[in-house]
C-alpha cells in the first residue's frame, strides 16, 4: 500500500476513536487500559510475524524515557476518553489539538530549539482560537462542556509530553517503541484501574465488547501500525499536512453522525486553532524565477 494512503487511512481511523468510545460502557481509565492491552497484543503479533527481534541492550539504555513515555500515554488516553464523556466530539478533538502549542512552548526549554516569530504568532492565534471555543462553552453549553474541554487540553498536555519524550529515544524502531509504550501503559493502568474501579471491568456489557475490540485492534493496533509504517517513507511536511485529516474526520462525525451542536464562534475558534498549528509546522520555500 502507498505510504500516503497508509497515513491517510491511519488518520481516518484515529478520527473515529471518539465515536467508538461513545459505545463503550466503561470508565475512561478502564477503556484506556483495554485499548492499550489489546493494541499491545495485536502489534506484538505483527512484530512477531515480521520476524523481528527486540534489541534489549538499546531498550535498557532508553528504559527511563520509555517508562516516562508510557506514563504520558496513560494520562493522554485517560483524559481524552474522559473528555469524550463530558463534551462534544468536536470540542474534545479541538482541545486535544492544542498539543502542538504546548510543544512550541516547551521546545526552546527542553529541546533547546529556537522559537521563530512565525511560531510565536501561530501560538498566539491558536490561544485566541481556543479562547473562542472555551468561551462559547461557558456561555452556551454549561460547566460540563467546559470540563470536557479542560480534560481535552489536559490530554493535549500529556500528548505533548509524549512527543517531546520520544525525541530522546534513540536507536529503537518506531514499531518497537509503540509496542513497549503500549505494554508500559497497560502495566501502569492495570493497578490504577483495580485500585479506583475494582473488578467492575469484568462486568462490562455485552453490547460494549465489539467496540472494545474495535478500539483495541483497529483504532489502536492497526491505526498505529499504518501510522508508523507510512512515516518511514514520508517527509515531515507531508506528515504535518496529512495529520489534519484526523480532526477533520472527528468534526464531520460530530456534526453529521452524532448531530452535536457546533456554533459559529466555535467554528471560528477551530479554524484559528487548526490553521495556526498547521502553518507553524509548514516550511515555505522561495523559488527563484528563471
Burial of 136 (0-12, 13-18, 19+ CB in 10 A): buried
Q: What's the pLDDT band for 29 if we cut at 50, 70, 90?
A: very high
Could you report the per-residue pLDDT of 43-60, keeping only the tens digit for each? 999 899 888 888 889 999
Distance CA(111)–CA(283), nearest Å, equals 19
Is 32:167 a contact under the CB 8 Å cutoff? Answer: no
- Kindly report, residue by residue over 146-205, the tens digit of the pLDDT: 888 889 999 999 999 988 998 898 888 888 989 999 999 999 999 999 888 776 777 888
Cβ–Cβ under 8 Å, residues 5 and 12? no
Nearest in space to 213 (alpha carbons), one of 87, 204, 226: 204
pLDDT bin (cut points 50, 70, 90) of residue 286 is: very low
Q: Is the pLDDT of residue 13 over 70?
A: yes
Say what the pLDDT of residue 181 is.
Answer: 92
Q: Is the pLDDT of residue 282 over 80?
A: no
Give tens-digit pLDDT for 108-161.
888 888 878 888 888 889 888 888 876 655 555 455 778 888 899 999 999 999
* pLDDT category of residue 284 using cuts at 50, 70 and 90: low
Q: pLDDT tens for residues 208-244?
A: 999 999 999 999 999 988 988 887 777 766 776 778 8
Amino acid at each position: 500500500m502507498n505510504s500516503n494512503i497508509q497515513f491517510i487511512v491511519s488518520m481516518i481511523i484515529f478520527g473515529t476513536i471518539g465515536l467508538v468510545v461513545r459505545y463503550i460502557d466503561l470508565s475512561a481509565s478502564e477503556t484506556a487500559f483495554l485499548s492499550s492491552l489489546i493494541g499491545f497484543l495485536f502489534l506484538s503479533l505483527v512484530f512477531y510475524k515480521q520476524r523481528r527481534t527486540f534489541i534489549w541492550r538499546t531498550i535498557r539504555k532508553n528504559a527511563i524515557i520509555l517508562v516516562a513515555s508510557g506514563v504520558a500515554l496513560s494520562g493522554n488516553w485517560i483524559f481524552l476518553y474522559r473528555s469524550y464523556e463530558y463534551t462534544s466530539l468536536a470540542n474534545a478533538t479541538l482541545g486535544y489539538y492544542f498539543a502542538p502549542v504546548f510543544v512550541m512552548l516547551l521546545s526552546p526549554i527542553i529541546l533547546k530549539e529556537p522559537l521563530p516569530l512565525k511560531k510565536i504568532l501561530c501560538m498566539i492565534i491558536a490561544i485566541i482560537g481556543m479562547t473562542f471555543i472555551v468561551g462559547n462553552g461557558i456561555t452556551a453549553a454549561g460547566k460540563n462542556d467546559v470540563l470536557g474541554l479542560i480534560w481535552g487540553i489536559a490530554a493535549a498536555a500529556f500528548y505533548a509530553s509524549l512527543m517531546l519524550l520520544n525525541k530522546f529515544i534513540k536507536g529503537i524502531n518506531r514499531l518497537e517503541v509503540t509496542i513497549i509504550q503500549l505494554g508500559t501503559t497497560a502495566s501502569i493502568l492495570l493497578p490504577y484501574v483495580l485500585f479506583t474501579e475494582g473488578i467492575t471491568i469484568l462486568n462490562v456489557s455485552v453490547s460494549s465488547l465489539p467496540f472494545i475490540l474495535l478500539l483495541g485492534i483497529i483504532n489502536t493496533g492497526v491505526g498505529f501500525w499504518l501510522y508508523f509504517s507510512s512515516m518511514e517513507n514520508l517527509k515531515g511536511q507531508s506528515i504535518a499536512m496529512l495529520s489534519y485529516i484526523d480532526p477533520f474526520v472527528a468534526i464531520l462525525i460530530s456534526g453529521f453522525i452524532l448531530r452535536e451542536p457546533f456554533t459559529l464562534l466555535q467554528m471560528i475558534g477551530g479554524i484559528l486553532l487548526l490553521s495556526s498549528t498547521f502553518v507553524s509546522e509548514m516550511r515555505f520555500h522561495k523559488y527563484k524565477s528563471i
